[in-house]
């Protein structure tokens, strides 16, 4: 009976200093295991020598394959690319910053062998994270669970996970450009379990998750899985309309009784409030409309500039 193949997928952006350490720790964690494994690294158009480091690592370890994007497409596009390239019976998504310990992978494999299709490594503790990062993370995952309705998403977050091959094949059928891959995996269903672990502090470099990218992730996550904002717009519109009719009645009654409504300030408050609500509604509609338009254009989710095969040779690639 052949041994199972595990694929480790790693998106990397400016991680030249971390990759050699991660390669060493992966070998220490997985070489003793009763399986074969490969490492698929997607370079999200790093500004440092990330791809050069991968070339040197691949020359010494044939199990390493790497791809480099033509420009920065984001970590979720890099993960999607890695899932397309992974050949394993199970696939582990592992970041390159060494905050997620590779030593946890055998525990994920144990649950997979017990029959789980998705094994989430759930953060029990987060070392080296700023207060703003922790607060934003809490808010984001609360929104995913209680607003979007994906109860399978862990309260403390999970971006380190293992997928069975059937889950990977199902996820590859979705070609959406603006979505949360983690939300999509939770939405897919299957048999999902979790394993707690302690997230460690970053060894080198700094996170590429800017405030702009975080806000875009929230917008993508909400618009991809729920129409609740549009439904709320209908409710708000109904309430504002009712209040407007009531206020109009008050104005008419006061005019008939000889007490017309006075005051420029009150009029401006009403105009500004209603105008602000209308602009907010237009912004929400714009978010949905832009995503629908962008999906209709069918542009590729990412473009691969070059690939690094197991023998260390580089080759050109195209859009996917």
Q: Is residue 216 part of a domain?
A: no
Statement: the pTM of the whole predicted model exceeds 0.75: no
**Residue 164: closest CA among 90, 73, 74, 77:** 90
Top mean-pLDDT range of 58-67, 218-227, 247-256, 307-316? 58-67
At 131, the pLDDT band (50, 70, 90 cuts) reads: low
**Would 240 be classed as within a structural domain?**
yes
Would you say residue 221 lies in a domain?
A: no
Looking at the 3D structure of the chain, how many domains does it have? Answer: 2
Asked if residue 56 is part of any domain, the answer here is: yes
Whether 217 maps to a domain, the answer reads: no
- 204 and 244, same structural domain? no
Is 100 within the bounds of a domain? yes
Cα 30 → chain centroid: 26
pLDDT of residue 29: 83
Q: Is 140 helix (H, G, I), strand (E, B) or coil?
A: helix
Q: Are residues 98 and 140 in the same domain?
A: yes
Give the pLDDT of residue 32.
80
58 CB-near residues (< 8 Å, 6+ apart): 64, 65, 66, 308, 309, 310, 312
Percentage of the residues of the chain whose pLDDT score is greater than 90: 0
Assigned domain for 223 exists: no
The residues, ordered by sequence, that sit 6+ positions from 182 with a Cβ below 8 Å of its Cβ are 153, 158, 159
- Is residue 59 located within the same domain as residue 178? yes
Q: Are residues 163 and 261 in the same domain?
A: no
pLDDT beyond 70 at 317: no
**Residue 104: pLDDT above 70?**
yes
Q: Are residues 309 and 239 in the same domain?
A: no
- In a shared domain, residues 129 and 268: no
**124 and 233 belong to one structural domain:** no
| Same domain flag for 193 and 254 | no
Kindly state the tokens that stand for 181. 């891959």
Quick one: average pLDDT of 179-191? 75
In this prediction, residue 27 has a pLDDT band, given cuts at 50, 70 and 90, of: confident
Same domain, 80 and 138: yes
pLDDT of residue 314: 54
CA distance 69 to 182: 21
- The closest alpha carbon to 251, from 265, 267, 239, belongs to 267
Instruction: Tell which wins on pLDDT, 223 or 35.
Output: 35
If asked whether residues 149 and 277 sit together in one domain, one would say no
pLDDT of residue 30: 83
What would the pLDDT profile of 240-293 be if each residue is shown by its tens digit? 777 777 776 776 677 677 666 666 556 666 777 777 777 777 777 777 777 777
Domain extent at residue 283 = 228-297
pLDDT computed for residue 193 by the predictor = 81
CATH code assigned at 306: 3.90.550.10
Any domain includes 91 = yes
121 within 8 A of 158, measured Cβ to Cβ: yes
Above pLDDT 70, what percent of the chain?
A: 69
166 and 236 share a domain? no
111, 194 contact by CB (below 8 A): no
Strands 36-43 and 5-12: parallel
Per-residue pLDDT, 262? 63
Is residue 112 very low, low, confident or very high in pLDDT (cuts 50, 70, 90)?
confident
| Residues in a beta bridge with 303 | 319
pLDDT at residue 61 in the model: 81
Across the chain, mean pLDDT equals: 75
pLDDT of residue 121: 81
Extended beta strands in the chain, E state: 5-12, 36-43, 64-69, 90-93, 118-126, 160-164, 192-199, 304-308, 314-316
- The answer on 190 and 150 residing in a single domain is yes
Q: What is the mean pLDDT of residues 81-91?
A: 86
């Amino acid at each position: 009976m052949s041994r199972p193949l595990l694929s480790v997928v790693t998106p990397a952006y400016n991680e030249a200093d971390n990759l050699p350490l991660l390669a060493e720790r992966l070998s220490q964690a997985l070489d003793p295991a009763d399986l074969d494994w490969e490492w698929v690294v997607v370079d999200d158009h790093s500004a440092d020598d990330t791809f050069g480091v991968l070339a040197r690592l691949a020359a010494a370890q044939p199990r390493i394959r790497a791809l480099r994007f033509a420009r920065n497409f984001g970590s979720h596009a890099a993960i999607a690319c890695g899932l397309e390239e992974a050949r394993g019976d199970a696939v582990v998504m592992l970041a390159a910053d060494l905050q997620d310990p590779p030593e946890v992978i055998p525990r994920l494999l144990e649950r997979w062998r017990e029959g789980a299709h998705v094994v989430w490594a759930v953060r029990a503790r987060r070392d080296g994270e700023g207060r703003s990062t922790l607060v934003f993370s809490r808010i984001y995952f609360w929104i995913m669970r209680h607003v979007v309705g994906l109860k399978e998403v862990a309260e403390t977050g999970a971006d380190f996970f293992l997928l069975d091959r059937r889950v990977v094949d199902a996820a590859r059928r979705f070609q959406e450009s603006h979505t949360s891959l983690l939300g999509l995996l939770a939405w897919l269903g299957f048999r999902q379990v979790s394993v707690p672990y302690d997230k460690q502090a970053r060894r080198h470099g700094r996170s590429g998750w800017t405030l702009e990218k975080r806000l875009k992730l929230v917008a993508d996550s909400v618009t991809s899985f729920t129409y609740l904002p549009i439904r709320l717009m209908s409710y708000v519109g109904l309430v504002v309309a009712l209040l407007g009719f009531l206020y109009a009645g008050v104005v008419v009654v006061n005019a008939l009784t000889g007490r017309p409504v006075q005051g420029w300030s009150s009029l401006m408050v009403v105009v500004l409030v209603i105008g602000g609500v209308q602009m907010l509604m237009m912004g929400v509609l714009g978010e949905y409309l832009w995503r629908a338009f962008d999906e209709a254009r069918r542009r590729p989710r990412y473009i691969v500039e070059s690939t690094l095969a197991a023998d260390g040779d580089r080759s050109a690639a195209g859009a996917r």
